[in-house]
Amino acid sequence: MAQTLKYVIGKDYRPLTVLEAKGGNTFTPDYDKTNWVQARQYEDSLRQVFIEITNEDGSAFDLTGTNIMFEGILPDNEHKILDNSHVVFYEDPTTGKFRFDMPAQAFSVAGQYKQAFFRVVKDYRNISTLEFKFEVLADMVVTGLVPRDYISPLDDLFNTIKETETKNVAELKKIVDDKINEITDLMTTLNQTNSATLSELNSAKTALSALEEKIKQDGLFTQGEAEEFKKSVKSDLENLFSDAKKSMENQNVNDFSSLAITDPQNMYAEEMPTYFNDTFNHATNVPHGDNIVNI
């Protein structure tokens, strides 16, 4: 069950304790018996306290633009709470009403708070409520929450820093991963390009070698073509001289010198490519007499 704390600014009063009157800061005030909060140790945020603040004339205390803090000294009289992160305005702030969801650190130590109240801050000015009795019942079953000072603005700052660090680490890792992927992709592309380029170069080299061999044959007249041409010429000349010899034998002519072909190369002058003349002239040898032409 949620507890409702009611305060009237300018009317609420409690007498000073003896120690307060002497300037001390340790005391047990005479609490207003209507304003109290009791919870079990280690509760977390589900313990809600409703607060209503009015002025002395009964009008609502306007909380518009205010920063509201819960301040307290834990039962160990050592650790402190300063929390402005758990205030919820469930109505219009002008009504002077809000809800406060107590954080887990508020219940870390069993016993009675040495002091607990709310402070309202606006435009660097502040006003506070009277203390309320705040008791934390012991939990004999579960233990674990270590008491510490809980200052929510600092905790929020530390959490923000931690989140920022985590985010920055994640962002940095992403940048590094992206760069690694970019370099990997580039290397892959270069390797693929290099393989393709090497293949093209090998093909071009083969084609150029073949072309070079062609060029070495003078005007692309290949060795194979030369062999075929040579066979054709040799066959024609042998047939020619064979027929001439038979004709002269029939005429009882023993001297073939008059029939000797003195320039057999001219017989095929029109058939031969001009660039093959030297090769043909060198390869052919047509002697006179009974000798057969050797090519």
CB proximity list for 238: less than 8 A, separation 6 or greater: 292, 293
pLDDT, averaged across the chain? 75
Is 3-148 in CATH node 2.40.30.40? no
Closest CA to 256 of 264, 246, 269, 245: 245
pLDDT one digit per residue (tens) for the chain, 295 residues:
468 999 999 999 988 877 777 776 667 777 888 899 999 998 887 889 999 999 999 999 999 999 999 999 999 998 999 999 899 999 899 999 999 999 988 999 999 999 999 999 998 899 999 999 999 999 888 776 677 777 766 666 666 777 777 777 677 677 767 766 776 776 677 666 666 666 666 666 666 666 566 666 655 555 666 666 666 666 666 665 565 555 555 555 554 444 444 444 454 455 555 555 555 555 554 444 444 444 4
**Sign, Cα dihedral of 105, 109, 110, 112:** negative
The rounded distance, in Å, linking the Cα atoms of 42 and 87 is: 20
Q: How far is CA 97 from CA 20, 126, 243, 255, in A?
A: 30, 17, 139, 149
Planar angle of CA 165, 156, 151, nearest 5 degrees:
135
Please state the pTM of the whole predicted model: 0.51
SS3 278: helix
Planar angle of CA 130, 136, 141, nearest 5 degrees:
170
The rounded distance, in Å, linking the Cα atoms of 54 and 13 is: 14
Residue 140, pLDDT score? 85
Closest CA to 53 of 1, 122, 112, 104: 122
Residue 239, pLDDT score? 61
The rounded distance, in Å, linking the Cα atoms of 131 and 17 is: 13
Residue 126, pLDDT score? 93
The rounded distance, in Å, linking the Cα atoms of 278 and 254 is: 34
Q: How far is CA 36 from the centre of its chain?
A: 55
